[in-house]
Amino acid sequence: MLKRSSQWRAIVFIATVVTSPVAGQEGSTDYAKGALIAERACSLCHDVTIDESDPPENKVPSFVKIANEPHQSADRLAENILFPHRDMPQFSLDAPSDLRDVTGYIMSMRGKK
C-alpha cells in the first residue's frame, strides 16, 4: 500500500501528464537535469548513458535500448515511470518537471544507436 504522501505525489504527476503532455513541452526540457536525475535515481539498476552497453546477462533494459524500442514515446515512458513494473520501485521525483526532464533525456537517445 502506498503511503498517503506518495499517492498524492502520483496524483500530482498524473494531473501534470494529462494537462500538459510531455511530448508537447520540448522547448522546456532540461536534458542535463534529466541526465542528473537518471544518474541519481535510475543508474542503480539501469545503464543510463548512451555509451553504456547492455551486458547480455543484464535483465534491466538500458535507457538506450528503452529509447529505441518500436513505438516508444515520451508519454509511454512517463506512464512506465509512474506505474512501474514489478521490480521497479516507486520513485519520488522532486518536481513534475523532473519527470519531463528524465523522459526527455531518455528520448534524446532515440535513433542515436
* Site residues for ligand HEC per CB under 6 A: 41-42, 44-46, 60-61, 66, 69, 77, 80-81, 85-89, 91, 102
Min separation Cβ 76 and ligand HEC, Å: 7
Q: Taking the alpha carbons of 47, 112, 56, 52 in that order, is the dihedral positive or negative?
A: negative
Nearest-5° Cα angle at 41, 18 to 60: 90
Q: Which of 108, 112, 109, 104 is nearest to 34 (CA)?
A: 104
Supply 56's cell numbers: 547480455
Min separation Cβ 79 and ligand HEC, Å: 8
Min separation Cβ 82 and ligand HEC, Å: 10
Whichever of 26 and 69 has its CB closer to ligand HEC, that residue is 69
